[in-house]
Structure 1
Amino acid sequence: KPLLLKHNCKLESEISNLGRTNKKLKIHRKIVREIFRLYRDISRLLYVFYIKKKLNLK
């Protein structure tokens, strides 16, 4: 029985560590998503300005 308890403690710590890394991964994913969203918006804006300039030149 003491062996089982020892194993349980180890398992618990591993599970909590996994949870912590998972939270970090979620945060990283959120950051990456936000950066991509920003990039997409900026590229869209630049494209709109580019088209407007082209139309104004004609």
Structure 2
Amino acid sequence: MAKRIEKSNLPVKTCVVCNRPFVWRKKWSAVWDEVKYCSKACRTRKQTAAGAATRL
């Protein structure tokens, strides 16, 4: 049986759009190093935020 990881010991990252912390998820296990956004909404908002910054 595989060794269990306690939820309190899961890796944490900060979303580059909303700056909120988010925790490792099993579906991200293969790509955890590339994960930058906490949700689909933030991934969608990244283009809007980048576009707004260049217009200033």
User: Given the two structures, how large is their TM-score scaled by the length of structure 2?
Assistant: 0.28
| Rg larger in structure | 1
Higher relative contact order (CA 8 A, sep 6+): 2
In terms of fraction of residues, the more strand-rich structure is 2
User: Given the two structures, how large is their TM-score scaled by the length of structure 1?
Assistant: 0.27
